[in-house]
């Protein structure tokens, strides 16, 4: 899964198009980052930007964005209704997919450190990045706003986390940190505003007060009536969808609506949503209804239908799900045609090479295993196999999808090592840094093919069972798939092996060698076992 982080920086400027455009261009100048939204406010004199990408790219984009804003915005001339502390007021980093909150905290600290050291701006940490209970919320840090910062920053307890303990009239200060993704979500009620608000009070964490809390954690909600839609809504902010996802909110609203004899007519997503939240909804309904769906697009369609997300306006996944809005620049090899990839491998270039090819071959092995499953599922003739295929197909499909990004990851790892080799080595300090980076690059160049081996190796259990029970008419496909897995593991092993001698960490080297040898031995054994099973069934 790709590592995707959202950054939602706010600047203290909402009227000057030149400044807003320059900040936007600073974000767009970073490869691998997608600028999703620009929301200027003239009365607040503030603009909110939303961009996403992989961690390092997002930090770089946030830095360039901030540098541009600091150069162009003068806080001594700023007036606006929204509370603010500086030219670049707040820069939150938000986990979207494949990343932890801790990784987002590290991103905020890297950004803050760089802004403090290179640009000389005072920076405060907030939310998950802050361990100071008096300086954890944005409201606490913004107290007194820009105008009060002159006296506030000189106090011991308000020494910035990064940058100088000094008031800079033109810039003010910046707040950065990490928080969870906020989902704005409305459930449609064919009733009154009061009935919708009654449901909101039941489900929101705050409830009706300290003595009567609501049922759902990390939920804020109110009821209102929307004249445009001619119906009421339970308007919800989901502060952490991993604690309470949208489908839980929807089902709880249905339960309460039934209790007061009003109807729920679907729901509405305001803004964007992470793919994970949609897939969580799909998995809930798949389990509830005992369905068998593993295709991602079908899962999204199920979630959209069950949540009634088309009720108010068409829900277009490519425009509402963050991951679907990103380009595929991060997987250039996997996105190539078969012809172009093969010709590139055969050209005068060292990458892509055996590692990327091994990942591709392994993914094809898993795919052919899944194919036999699909040829054994869903037809009247093999109906007795349906329950078994429901168990065997998903692990192979999952492995196939995990292996595809590794085609690019192997080449990227090689490029990282080559970049480290090109680092300066004139001074002792430069040589030390270069050496450390080269060792890091070698470990990455080992970990990628090792993960190919691990993922391919995880397929054997399903492959063996598929050989025993799958549609015998697809047996040749399964045997080709098994040989692909064995070949992919062999190729990945050779890529691990060639980099190990240069590793200086003896404990690491011994551990990797032992694991890789065991997987290699298993692959030959399981291939032969698959062949025996199929040959016996054919007799």
Q: Which residues are catalytic?
A: 82, 410
DSSP 41-99: ETTTTEEEEEEEE-HHHHHHHHHHHHHHHHHH--GGG---SS--SBSEEEEEEEEEES-
Q: Cβ distance 97 to 275 under 8 Å?
A: yes
Three-state DSSP state, 123: strand
Only one residue has tokens 């961690």, namely 55
Cα 208 from Cα 199, distance rounded (Å)? 11
Nearest of 354, 398, 396, 368 to residue 480 by alpha carbon:
368
Q: Cβ distance 276 to 265 under 8 Å?
A: no
Q: Cβ distance 424 to 358 under 8 Å?
A: no
Cα 212 from Cα 234, distance rounded (Å)? 19
Q: Cβ distance 33 to 65 under 8 Å?
A: no
Q: Cβ distance 20 to 40 under 8 Å?
A: yes
Lookup: tokens for 464 = 């063996």
Q: In the chain, what are the helix, strand and coil shares in percent, each to the nearest 5?
A: 55, 15, 30
**Residue 524 CB partners (closer than 8 Å, separation 6+):** 486
Q: Cβ distance 50 to 36 under 8 Å?
A: yes
Starting at the edge strand found earlier in the chain, the sheet holding 231-238 runs: 219-226, 231-238, 183-190, 263-270
Cα 452 from Cα 489, distance rounded (Å)? 7
């Amino acid at each position: 899964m790709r590592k995707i982080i959202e950054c939602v920086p706010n600047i203290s400027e909402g009227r000057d198009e030149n400044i807003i455009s320059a900040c936007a261009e600073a974000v767009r100048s970073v490869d691998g980052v997608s600028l999703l939204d620009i929301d200027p406010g003239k009365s607040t004199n503030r603009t909110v930007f939303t961009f996403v990408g992989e961690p390092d790219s997002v930090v770089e984009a946030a830095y360039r964005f901030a540098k541009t804003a600091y150069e162009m915005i003068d806080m001594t001339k700023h007036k606006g209704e929204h509370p603010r502390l500086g030219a670049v007021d707040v820069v939150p980093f938000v986990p979207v997919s494949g990343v932890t909150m801790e990784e987002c905290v590290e991103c905020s600290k890297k950004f803050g450190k760089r802004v403090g050291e290179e640009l000389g701006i005072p920076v405060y940490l907030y939310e998950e990045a802050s361990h100071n209970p008096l300086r954890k919320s944005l409201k606490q840090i913004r107290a007194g706003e820009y105008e009060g910062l002159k006296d506030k920053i000189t106090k011991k307890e308000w020494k910035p986390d990064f940058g100088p303990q000094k008031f800079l009239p033109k810039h003010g200060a910046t707040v950065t940190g990490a928080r969870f993704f906020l989902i704005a979500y409305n459930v449609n009620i064919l009733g009154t505003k009061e009935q919708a608000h009654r449901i909101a009070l039941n489900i929101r964490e705050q409830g009706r007060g300290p003595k009567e809390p609501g049922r759902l954690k990390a939920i804020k909600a109110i009821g209102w009536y929307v004249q445009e839609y001619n119906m009421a809504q339970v308007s919800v902010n989901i502060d952490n969808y991993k604690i309470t996802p949208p489908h839980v909110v929807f089902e709880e609203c249905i339960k309460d609506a039934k209790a007061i004899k009003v109807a729920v007519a679907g729901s509405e997503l305001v803004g964007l949503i992470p793919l994970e939240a949609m897939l969580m909804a799909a998995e809930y309904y798949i389990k509830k209804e005992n369905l068998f769906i593993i295709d991602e697009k079908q899962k999204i369609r199920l979630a959209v239908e069950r949540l009634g997300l088309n009720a108010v306006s068409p829900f277009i996944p490519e425009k509402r799900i963050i991951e679907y809005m990103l380009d595929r620049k991060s997987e250039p090899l996997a996105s190539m045609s078969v012809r172009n990839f093969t010709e590139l491998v055969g050209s005068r270039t060292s990458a892509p090479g055996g590692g990327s090819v091994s990942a591709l071959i392994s993914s094809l092995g898993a795919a052919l295993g899944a194919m036999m499953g699909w040829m054994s599922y869903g037809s009247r003739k093999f109906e007795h196999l349906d329950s078994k295929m429901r168990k065997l197909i998903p692990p192979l499909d999952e492995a196939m999808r995990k292996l595809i990004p590794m085609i690019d990851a192997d080449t990227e790892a090689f490029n990282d090592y080559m970049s480290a080799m090109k680092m300066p080595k004139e001074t002792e300090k430069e040589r030390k840094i270069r050496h450390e980076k080269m060792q890091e690059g070698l470990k990455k160049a080992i970990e990628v093919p090792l993960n190919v081996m691990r993922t391919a190796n995880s397929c054997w259990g399903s492959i063996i069972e598929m050989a025993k029970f799958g549609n015998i008419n697809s047996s040749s496909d399964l045997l080709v798939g098994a040989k692909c897995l064995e070949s992919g593991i062999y190729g990945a092993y050779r890529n691990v092996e060639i980099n190990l001698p240069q590793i200086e960490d003896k404990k690491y080297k011994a551990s990797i060698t032992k694991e890789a040898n065991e997987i290699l031995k298993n692959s030959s054994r399981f291939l032969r076992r698959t062949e025996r099973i199929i040959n016996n069934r054919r007799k």
